[in-house]
Structure 1
Amino acid sequence: MATELDQALNAIMDALVQPGQPFETVPHERSGQQMPAFKNAPPSLAHYFAHYCHEHADVPFLVDGDVRLTFGETYAAAQAVAAGLVSRHGVKTGDRVGIAARNSANWIISYMGIVMAGGCATLLNGFWTGDELAFGVRIAECSLVLADQARADRLAGTDHSAELVIIDHGGSPSAGLANIWAEPGSAALPDLGPDDVATILYTSGSTGYPKGAWSDHLGVVSGTMSYVAQSAMASLLLTKQGNPPVGQPCALVAVPLFHVTGEVPLFLQSYAIGRKLVLMPKWNAREAMRLIEAEKVSYFVGVPLMSYEMATHPDRGDYDLSTCKSFAAGGAPRPVDHVAKIRDSFPDGFPLLGYGLTETNAVGCGNFNENYLAKPGSTGKASRPLVDLAILDDDGEKLDQGQVGEVCLRTIANFRGYWKNDAATKAAFTKDGYFRTGDLGYVDEDGYLFIVDRKKDIIIRGGENISCIEVEQAIYAHPDVAECSVFGLPDERFGEIVGATYMVREGAALTPDELCAFLDGKLAPFKLPAHLWEADEPLPKLGTQKIDKKTLREQYAAAMGAG
């Protein structure tokens, strides 16, 4: 039965999509299927930037250390970069231009300039090694890469043919971006449309080498406007409840901008809603709390561990975090036990959870406020008005409510394919246009999606299927566990057995034997980890900030063999 909150949100969205309203939808054909698209959406990211930077010209936008820029100042800098890319580096419409740099105001201006010059913003993973960066450059066929010195040093001597141009962070944009700077208007910029190539982001590589997922402007703008619609819905709800938002919205940027969570719902959405972005070059829970207090941050999004680190930090009481009303998680499931802990630690805010993928431009499902507290194991309902969510079997046929199958999403925001990889692109979509997420899940009687596991990440122990997520949730229920991962290990008798590793929160101590004793009775015996290791540092992450299970599995399988 729909909750009171669901009913209120549905009524608001019903009104927002009506003819003549801001989020009116019209049918659009893609892959032979009719899908809803926003009638009033800008035709390209270049138009999107121009419209909203003009609308919010004098409003503060970027805070990066001592650098503070308004929307208007940011757009003027992007115009200079676009002119420089065209006039000095010969960028043409559709050229892939890579960004290999840490988060900064100049990263954002570079992204804007690439798009406005007609290029395809190719978001290289700033955590990659030199050879991994070079691989990303090669598969996207980048003609130009904008790199900060640290990434340029990594790329030195690697196998790629792109022109490498150094960009810097801090100080004025004209100084840090001097190598791609020209007088605005000194070069003719292209008139872009919805079908032009806009971005390439990289898949996490959990099943092999990364692939470059490319999107056109229609997909990225649609994904962005989907989040804008969700924000408008939330704002109207608060207003109806007599608690309208006050002051300028402000978000802390603690996730990589090359990751789709950082790019679409955080960075790109901010233009439309006039939101200030406060950038952190590197994650630190104490510094995050200081910035939330100093800049009056109202929205925080990060991987689940980030919110939890702040909630359990010994200095939590030293900071006033009352302005932050939303603590969102993306990139990985949030442990169920963390949801209530975050709510208790931040009584002025609510935990939120979004579900989307690189290939869907972050669009998928969302679980909000009281609904999330009531169903903390769910990623929420399909995001209206764009998302068509289906649970399909291996033949692509729809399953009934409650049955477990592959989670599939059909939306105008979906990516168009993997760059120069037709076979992988074909395998990613069903014949009727659904993207196969690779996640297994089911939809309950209220329309809420529950992720059970990765399709290819189930442990099969002696013929019994074991959900990694189920075992992880049991481990996370221990109050001293900050991070964990569960994976299959090879075994001669059972084929696979359960392996797990965990890291404890700061100041805590928990031995593997103590954790095993805690789990005993909470899981069926065949689900208990046969091997359990304590990690003394954060678990390795992929570019999308998901825990790198492939690396952990290989590492601990090797350790078993050596033992």
Structure 2
Amino acid sequence: MAKLLGRKRRTHSARMGLLPAGATLISAIEGRDDALAVAVADGKKGGVRLSRAQLRAAVGSLAKRLVAAGVKPGDVVSMVQTNTVEFLVSFLAVGQARGVAAPFNSAYKQDEFSWYMEDATTKLLLLPPEGNDRAAAAAEGLAIPAATLELVAPAAPGAAPGLRVVEVAAGKAGPRVTSAAAEAAAESDAAPPAPEPSDVALFLHTSGTTSKPKGVPLSHANLAASMANIVATYDLGPSDVSYMVMPLFHVHGLLAGTLAPLAAGGAIVLPVAGRFSASVFWEDCARHGATFYTAVPTMHQVLLERAPKDFPKDSPPPLRFIRSCSSSLAPATHAALEETFGVPVLEAYAMTEAAHQMTSNPLPARGPRKAGSVGKAQGGVSVAILDDAGALLPQGEVGEVCIKGANVTKGYINNPKANAEAFTAEGWFRTGDQGRLDEEGYLFLTGRLKELINRGGEKISPLEVDGVLLSHPAVSEAVSFGAPDPKYGEVVAAAVVLREGEEGGEELVEAIRAHCAKQLSAFKVPGPGLLFVTDALPKGATGKVQRRHMPAAFLGTQ
């Protein structure tokens, strides 16, 4: 087991330690001016590299521009960018300007962008240099101003990078980031604004099973607490380098892969494609000295499959550990990862409402890793197992996993019913997951009380899929559900009852799937062979469709 202690940590100067009291997002990019903050792994061109001083300068310039343009404290600025330096600058600048960042999946359809922007009360949309036609059209339809943002290389080594901002939709009102005042502010020597810990910094939607997606506000204090928990769990420091492959519009990539290592004084490396690419993964990790990466099981499985030809076992990157989160990691995959890559694999448990991490398996020096367990509560997080009435259950008994901590949101936006259901009188947040704690405090998840479909870490609301299926003129009843999948854990499946007089068949099934593809992102569409036409759906005594019985009825699984 010696090899599973991980590669030797490179020596470094004094650790930054935990974040100070009153920390905000901007605390994550403090530190030594010349220390590397972010690099783009482009082997052919050398790639973009920004020091902490350069990153702070770019963030401060955009923050001043946003304030001068009319962004006020609490205003929501939506972002449609992949894993790029522009995303990082935009996100941090919105926070520094005391705005609220609302990042979206760039693969959304126009109608999805419209719904999410309207629900978030978006005041401004920021787009990548190449734009996004669907998002821009949605913004124009809602009269929301939109602009592209592009990083301009520094004029000289060590100089601050520039930002090229181009307006693509004016909107009827709202911030004008290309106005003369905004341009002047961006170039001024004035100090950038300073956010408050209580300011909401991030607004995300979490899918629900009984309603539309719920809005989750996370404050600077929530995010700072989560960063501190993650830093402490993995002993992150200035010598650490995170290779960032998880999408930044999720808390997984944003907190564990990006903000936490930055807060520890370390650096992050972004793939040049702006997303996970197995073909360059190990080359990038080795060239940039990655000390860890965090990913979903689907990505781990792809890397395992390609390991015989891709993994540089004779000169591996200096990984200390591999982190897995957002979806259950099969014990067999856990064992194969450790055997193949020779470092500890630490499975964690997280959710949006907790600003990501709640539990994790520890580093080897701090305790055992237990395959099948998502580890122990870390940092300032408390975990309890409660019964339906909210009473604490004895160790070992199965019940609902509940949490407390400074990282947990104070509640959903404009949704008192959801808040009443989610929080107990004692302040515990109900995760909707079922589990038990062993004698050492390790959490084992045993099922989901909620019915979200978890496709490789991407949470999908079945009601959203149901609604699109029911909008097809041939469909009378519809219910979607998760189907087991060896690569993604779960994929979307569905069953429909046709209207009287409609004839089933492959042609109609494909027409219904095509109908879904016009309104939903590809990962939400029922897969080939997973859209069933039936005479009746499983229902209970009250006539309510029993979604939990669908896999057994149509797939022969429980």
Q: Same fold (TM over 0.5)?
A: yes
SS of equivalent residue, structure 1 residue 312: helix
Deviations 1:458-481, CA, capped at 9 Å, x for gaps: 9xxxxxxxxx99xx9xxx9xxxxx
* C-alpha deviation, 1:184, in angstroms: 4.9
1:53-452 matched pairs, under 5 angstroms = 53=30, 55-64=31-40, 65=42, 66-87=47-68, 89-148=69-128, 152-158=132-138, 159-168=141-150, 171=153, 173-177=161-165, 180=177, 182-185=185-188, 189-205=192-208, 209-232=212-235, 248-280=239-271, 281-313=274-306, 314-318=308-312, 320-347=315-342, 349-370=343-364, 375-384=370-379, 386-452=380-446
Counterpart Cα distance in 1 of 2:486 and 2:357: 31
Counterpart Cα distance in 1 of 2:483 and 2:290: 36
**Runs of at least 5 residues in structure 1 that lack an aligned partner in the other structure:** 1-20, 24-37, 236-246, 459-467, 477-482, 488-495, 506-539
Kept in 1, the 8 Å contact 2:434–2:446? The answer is yes
Inter-CA distance 501–389: structure 2 relative to 1 (3 Å threshold): closer
Deviations 1:141-172, CA, capped at 9 Å, x for gaps: 11111112666301243343421111236756
Counterpart Cα distance in 1 of 2:449 and 2:421: 14
Counterpart Cα distance in 2 of 1:201 and 1:156: 19
Inter-CA distance 350–310: structure 2 relative to 1 (3 Å threshold): same
* C-alpha deviation, 1:455, in angstroms: 0.4
Inter-CA distance 500–142: structure 2 relative to 1 (3 Å threshold): closer
**Runs of at least 5 residues in structure 2 that lack an aligned partner in the other structure:** 1-15, 155-160, 168-176, 178-182, 463-478, 489-515, 537-553
Counterpart Cα distance in 1 of 2:442 and 2:144: 45
CA RMSD of aligned residues (A): 3.6
Kept in 2, the 8 Å contact 1:41–1:221? The answer is no
Inter-CA distance 561–298: structure 2 relative to 1 (3 Å threshold): farther
The number of equivalent residue pairs is 440
Q: Which amino acid aligns with 1:253?
A: M
Kept in 2, the 8 Å contact 1:152–1:166? The answer is no
* C-alpha deviation, 1:209, in angstroms: 3.1
Match of 2:493 in 1: none
Deviations 1:294-330, CA, capped at 9 Å, x for gaps: 1111111111121222223141344632412211111
TM (normalized to structure 2)?
0.71
Kept in 1, the 8 Å contact 2:398–2:435? The answer is yes
Counterpart Cα distance in 2 of 1:292 and 1:404: 40
Q: Which amino acid aligns with 1:452?
A: T
SS of equivalent residue, structure 1 residue 183: helix
Match of 2:532 in 1: 558
SS of equivalent residue, structure 1 residue 401: coil
Counterpart Cα distance in 1 of 2:432 and 2:527: 19
Kept in 2, the 8 Å contact 1:401–1:443? The answer is yes
Kept in 2, the 8 Å contact 1:137–1:162? The answer is no
Kept in 2, the 8 Å contact 1:93–1:117? The answer is yes
Counterpart Cα distance in 2 of 1:497 and 1:153: 29
Counterpart Cα distance in 2 of 1:322 and 1:345: 13
Deviations 1:488-515, CA, capped at 9 Å, x for gaps: xxxxxxxx9998453579xxxxxxxxxx
Match of 1:14 in 2: none
SS of equivalent residue, structure 1 residue 168: strand
Counterpart Cα distance in 1 of 2:129 and 2:534: 40
Match of 2:507 in 1: none
Q: Which amino acid aligns with 2:485?
A: Y
Counterpart Cα distance in 1 of 2:88 and 2:331: 34
* C-alpha deviation, 1:446, in angstroms: 1.4
Inter-CA distance 335–116: structure 2 relative to 1 (3 Å threshold): same
* C-alpha deviation, 1:207, in angstroms: 5.5
